Amino acid sequence: MMLDSIELDDQFEWADEFDWDALAQDQERSLTGALLVQEGVKLHGRPITLKANGGVWTPLSVVRQLEALRDQRLKVMDLVLPDGRGFSVIFNRSEGAPLKATQVFRQVAPSPDHDYDVEISLITVAPVAAP
């Protein structure tokens, strides 16, 4: 799995993969009491939350690379999943920290290869056209 230029372990779980509905719907009542329904296809904005869920540990050196990506404003990144699907994504900051990393075994001064349990919150956006 690749996020931008960072190689991630293929065992990350896409935790909210099946929570997405590709259609948006709006309902309201007319003055006559009839139900008016409008639907449209969502073009982007699909959340992609990658969680370790105990299945993969990420070294601190990779966490630091993710941290550097996270700190770039509106950074559009390519995400390629292990099955070959690709998405243009940005960090999803709408519900809190888009990158969470917790030490697997606590150390005061962890080395670059010290393991972390990581969660990455992303959201799909339109791909950026090449100039």
pLDDT tens digits, 45-62: 999 999 998 889 999 999
- Return the DSSP state at 33: S
Mean pLDDT of the chain: 93
Task: Classify residue 71: in a domain, yes or no.
Answer: yes
Q: Total domain count for the chain?
A: 1
Task: Classify residue 111: in a domain, yes or no.
Answer: yes
Pick 82 or 130 by higher pLDDT.
82
Answer whether residue 35 shows pLDDT above 70. yes
| CA separation for the pair 98, 123 (Å, rounded) | 10
Task: Classify residue 131: in a domain, yes or no.
Answer: no
Q: Give the residue-averaged pLDDT of 64-86.
A: 95
Contact 74, 88 (CB under 8 A): no
Range of the domain at 74: 2-124
**Reported pTM:** 0.87
The candidate with the shortest Cα–Cα distance to 99, out of 78, 129, 70, is: 70
Task: Classify residue 129: in a domain, yes or no.
Answer: no
The sign one gets for the Cα dihedral 37, 40, 44, 49 is positive
